[in-house]
């Protein structure tokens, strides 16, 4: 990677290394309509002395996060007080610098978390709603798994008759719906907190 735009050659590697998600808000490319809604961000901005073609300074991010972050970087006074960006490549951010509450709001635990959330506006309404939806889907998925297991058990325990055939059709329908929900959740923002997952 050389010159002013050499870093763009890193795109396929960055996409893979960041799991096709925004390094800051965690949104998956597919949720935003594909990779064209994403771009390469210099974690430490070039205008603040960040290297232009150093792979470790390049992050794969959604365009809204990139625009919001722009060339923001903490002042030396802020740095002294611990106000800085959490670096998802070098440290655990979720659970250490911030946690997610049930209503989808990210809450800071440290000055770093406070700076990170506020500067990147990680509680913007779309993201909050997206996290809330994802949490509700997880709950529904867990309920669906439980129902499926109960239904399976009932079918196994009873003699085969007309009602059993209907139950089997229901079971097959439920299994298909579970698959749809599971695929949707694969594209959701990863859970920030450690929750009971399926
Ligand atoms: Zn983002």
CA distances 169 to 151, 159, 163, 165, Å, are 11, 16, 10, 6
95 falls in which pLDDT band (50, 70, 90)?
confident
List residues bridging with 59 in a β-sheet: 41
Q: What is the pLDDT of residues 146-155, one digit of tens each?
A: 999 999 999 9
Sign of CA dihedral 58, 64, 70, 76: negative
Per-residue pLDDT at 195 exceeds 60: no
Helix, strand or coil, per DSSP, at residue 60: strand
CA distances 163 to 154, 167, 169, 172, Å, are 11, 6, 10, 14
Ligand 1 midpoint to CA 131 (Å): 13
Helix, strand or coil, per DSSP, at residue 153: helix
Ligand 1 midpoint to CA 120 (Å): 8
Ligand 1 midpoint to CA 63 (Å): 7
Per-residue pLDDT at 193 exceeds 70: no
Per-residue pLDDT at 198 exceeds 80: no
Helix, strand or coil, per DSSP, at residue 36: helix
Ligand 1 midpoint to CA 25 (Å): 4
Q: What's the CA gap between 49 and 67, in Å, rounded? A: 19
Provide the token pair at 6: 């050499």
196 falls in which pLDDT band (50, 70, 90)?
very low
Average pLDDT over residues 11-33: 95
Ligand 1 midpoint to CA 141 (Å): 26
Helices (H) and strands (E) in the chain, counts: 6, 4
Q: What's the CA gap between 79 and 121, in Å, rounded? A: 19
Which residues, chain by chain, have CB under 5 Å from ion ligand 1? 22, 24-25, 62, 65
192 falls in which pLDDT band (50, 70, 90)?
low
Cβ atoms within 10 A of the Cβ of 171, count? 16
Q: What is the DSSP letter of 2?
A: -
CA distances 140 to 60, 143, 180, Å, are 31, 5, 12
Provide the token pair at 149: 């297991």
Ordered by start, the domain boundaries in the chain are: 1-72, 74-123, 126-186
Per-residue pLDDT at 36 exceeds 60: yes
Average pLDDT over residues 168-189: 92
Q: What is the pLDDT of residues 48-88, one digit of tens each?
A: 999 999 999 999 999 999 999 999 999 999 999 999 999 98
Ligand 1 midpoint to CA 102 (Å): 20
Residue 42: enclosing H or E segment and its boundaries? strand 38-42
Helix, strand or coil, per DSSP, at residue 64: helix
Q: Which one has a higher pLDDT value, 16 or 192? A: 16
Per-residue pLDDT at 197 exceeds 90: no
Ligand 1 midpoint to CA 35 (Å): 12
Q: What's the CA gap between 44 and 8, in Å, rounded? A: 16
Ligand 1 midpoint to CA 198 (Å): 26
Provide the token pair at 20: 């096709």
Average pLDDT of the chain, as a whole number: 92
Ligand 1 midpoint to CA 192 (Å): 14
């Amino acid at each position: 990677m050389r010159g002013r735009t050499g870093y763009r050659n890193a795109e396929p590697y960055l996409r893979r290394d960041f799991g096709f998600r925004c390094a800051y808000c965690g949104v998956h490319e597919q949720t935003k309509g594909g990779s064209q809604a994403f771009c390469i961000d210099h974690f430490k901005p070039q205008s603040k002395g960040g290297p232009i073609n150093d792979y470790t300074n390049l992050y794969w991010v959604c365009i809204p996060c990139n625009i919001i972050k722009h060339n923001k970087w903490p002042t030396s006074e802020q740095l002294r007080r611990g106000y800085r960006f959490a670096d998802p490549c070098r440290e655990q951010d979720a659970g250490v610098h911030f946690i997610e509450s049930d209503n989808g709001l990210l809450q800071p635990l440290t000055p770093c978390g406070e700076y990170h959330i506020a500067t990147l506006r990680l509680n913007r309404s779309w993201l909050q709603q997206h996290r809330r939806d994802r949490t509700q889907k997880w709950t529904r998925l867990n309920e669906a798994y439980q129902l499926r297991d109960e239904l399976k058990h009932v079918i196994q325990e009873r003699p085969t008759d007309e009602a059993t055939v209907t139950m089997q059709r229901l079971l097959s329908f439920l299994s298909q719906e579970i698959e749809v929900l599971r695929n949707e959740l694969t594209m959701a923002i990863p859970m920030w907190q450690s929750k009971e997952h399926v």
